[in-house]
Every structure is written in structure tokens, then in C-alpha cells.
Amino acid sequence: MSDATDNRLNRGPANGARAGRRCVNTMLGLVMVIGVLIASGCASVNFNHPQVLGDGASAEQLAQTAQVYFIRPRLLQSKGVADGAVRITFKGKLLLEMSEGSYALLHIKPSKGLVKLFNKTKFANEPGVIEVWRARKYKFIVGKTYFIYVRQLNEEFRGVFYEPEPVKLKRAQQLIEDAGPSGSAARRARIDKLTKVSVPPASATQGIRPVLPEDVYRQVK
């Protein structure tokens, strides 16, 4: 056997070990990336909504809006189809869609109307999937900061709902422990970095009579 061949054989195990380490490192990197994506979730904002200002707005324009955070933390216990995206409308038009583990910041022009949350669920003794909703009246005021918790309500055999619950800064910072910022606006003004905000008066939000599962039954039959 030649010296060159002998050297190649001697280098073989070392090369194999290095290749194995590279493979392991690559796999670990992929696992970390996938873990971050799963943990952070995402939100898709409809910037064509007439009340929403996009990222291209000037500082002067943004100063004439309300800062509105929507927060949907990741929950440990699965609720089946209700774990899917929540569709959020304002004044009857699509505002955004949110998956679990995300929060978004929207700059909304002064306005008032229903913030309505739609999701899919299943009722006991009903074979199909049904879309349900809960809503609350909001008045968005210039210069005020709102934190809207996309709160899950489990009504057992009557299905799973989400409601737009107003919360304060401290509670919002607790909720984002299981939610990451989605979109450039939320990343620039992260909730965990906020120390003081101008809160809206209590009159800026108003609960309404929730849609009852019995009403939804009548709609789908």
C-alpha cells in the first residue's frame, strides 16, 4: 500500500468525525429556528383597512393615531380546531388574523366601533365545525395606548370562544411571556420595553351582550 493511500485512510475517521459534528450542529440550528418560529407565532395585518396606518406613515401621521396592541399568547392545552387563526374585524372590515404566540401593534385613526373576534369551534352533538364570535365596543383616541387581550373562553360542550378584553400594561407584559412581536411596528415598540403609556378612559371600551351558542345553533341549522 502506498504512503498516499495510507495517509488517506488515516485521515478518514477524523474527517468523518468533523462531518458528523457539522451535521449535528446543523440539526441543532434547525431545531432552534423551528422552536423560535413556533414560540413566536404570527399576525397578518390588513393595511388596506381604512382606519389603519401602514409602516410608510410619517411620524406626524402616526402621532394622530391610537396605538393598539393585540395579544394572543400561546396556550399549553390544545383546543383542537379552536387553536387555529383568530380573525379580527373592526367596523365590519378585516383588521388582522392572529395565530397563537404572537402580538401585533396597529396604528388606528380616531374612530369607534365593534372589535369582533371570529374563530372556528365545535359544539357537542354537532358533527361539523362552526364559526363563532365575541365582540366589544372600542373608541380609539389619539395618543392613547390600548392592549387588547385575545382571551380564550372555554365553554366546554358549548364550544371555545375568544373575546377582545382590554388589559393594562402590567398585565400585557405578563401575557407576552408566551407571545412574540409580529411585524415591524411591534418589534420597534416592544411591550416588554414600555415603562409608561397614556391609557384611555374606562368609557373607551364597552362590553356587549355575547352571542350565545344557542343563537349560533339556530343560524347553522
- Tens of pLDDT, residues 64-114: 999 999 999 998 666 788 788 999 999 999 999 999 999 999 999 999 999
* Contact status, residue 143 vs residue 63, Cβ threshold 8 Å: yes
Tally of domains within the chain: 2
pLDDT value of residue 127 = 75
Is the domain of 34 the same as that of 45?
no
Predicted confidence (pLDDT) per residue in 197-213, tens digit: 999 999 999 987 765 55
Tell me: do 144 and 190 sit in the same domain: yes
Do residue 107 and residue 24 come from a single domain?
no
Do 46 and 13 share a structural domain?
no
Of 23-32, 59-68, 138-147, 149-158, the poorest mean pLDDT is in: 23-32
Q: 117: domain range?
A: 41-220
pLDDT digits (tens, 9 = 90+) for 36-61: 333 447 889 999 999 999 878 999 99
- Residue with the bigger pLDDT between 174 and 75: it is 174
Q: Both 88 and 166 in a single domain?
A: yes
Same domain, 114 and 163: yes
- Pair 24, 86 in one domain: no
pLDDT confidence of residue 36: 36
